[in-house]
Amino acid sequence: MTTAAADATADATTAEVDANTDANATTDAAAIEHARALLGVSRLTNAALTRWLHGLPGVDQVGCEARAGALGTRSIKSASKAWAIDLAISMIDLTTLEGNDTPGKVRGLAAKALTPDPSDPTTPRPAAVCVYGDMVAIARNTLGDSGVRVAAVATAFPSGRASLAVKLADVADAVNAGADEIDMVIDRGAFLAGDYRTVFDQVVAVKRACGTARLKVIMETGELVTYDNVRRASWLCMLAGADFIKTSTGKISPAATLPVTLVMLEAVRDWRETTGTQIGVKPAGGIRTSKDAVKFLVAVNEVAGPDWLEPHWFRFGASSLLNDLLLQRQRLRIGAYSGADYIADDSPSTAY
């Protein structure tokens, strides 16, 4: 390559970097301007975020848990059960996030998403298959243009302990491989230390890196200790541009509890009333039976409202839930459970 050609290539590369930097700065500036307007401040400082978040109404722990308990005891009729089971299936992010995941395991999971019940073609498909970033291409190739989306965990999942540059590279790899959705984790250490601006900036940066992919922000509610913190984290993530707020990684206990999800449902309801923007909710971890799923759907309807009762706005992060829903669906359809080799997994939960 001649010196002139090398100089031209370098100039083009520099121009591209500068253009990307300008675009990123514009995106971040727009997010900050939106936050400043909502908070009514001239500068988006950590102090301003702290005043705003700590000015949110506190959560009545006793009242929250009592309401969740009451919602969890609601009974529904058989026709409604059939509808609820199909809806729950369509809301699942069918998940495998293990260190021993193999290409064959991911292909098998994706194949199951495409044909959940080979004996009944009317069975709805799950919303997405959720995998680690290095498995995205395999899931994408198996799912094709079926409409089942590919979700990828990113940003140093599950701990979130990495530099922002590493987190953004993680997101870029997943998006470039074909991910439709990104499930990021917040820096819980920064949040619990009161460094809300760092959490805000990281969510904004990841949202920008997602491009057209939807962003689910995992708060790891089991580490946030209080319902007040769950409410503050929910509002902070929505302020920064989350498309979904998500309870957990599924790697710690407690994971998705009904009271925590109730607090998050109240947050997205109030956010829409405040801003006009609807945000999704994804409880993940520990939801294993049809009974569990129906309890969450009742809470969605009663707390956030029926607008959230569809897969674009509510998801279940689960691995074993689908099998139980399929078994319960078959029982309602033909009056009996299948044989032992109908699906591979646990035995069905008690009929409800």
Burial-class residue 121 by CB neighbours within 10 Å (0-12, 13-18, 19+). Answer: exposed
Q: Which of 170, 183, 243, 324 is catalytic?
A: 183
Smallest CA-to-CA distance from 158 within 284, 17, 298 is with 284
The residues near 192 (Cβ < 8 Å, ≥ 6 apart) are 223, 224, 225, 229
Smallest CA-to-CA distance from 169 within 156, 178, 151 is with 156
Is 282 noted as a catalytic residue in this protein?
A: yes
Q: Which of 170, 246, 292, 295 is catalytic?
A: 246
Asked whether 255 and 214 are in contact (CB, 8 A), the reply is no
Is 295 noted as a catalytic residue in this protein?
A: no
Is 216 noted as a catalytic residue in this protein?
A: no
Chain Cα centroid distance, residue 227: 19
d(CA 166, CA 169): 5
What string of DSSP letters covers 305-340?
-GGG-STTTB-EEESSHHHHHHHHHHHHHHSS---T
Q: Is the peptide bond before 254 cis (omega within 30 degrees of 0)?
A: yes
DSSP state, 222? G
Q: Which of 117, 282, 295, 324 is catalytic?
A: 282
Q: Which residues are known to be catalytic? A: 183, 246, 282
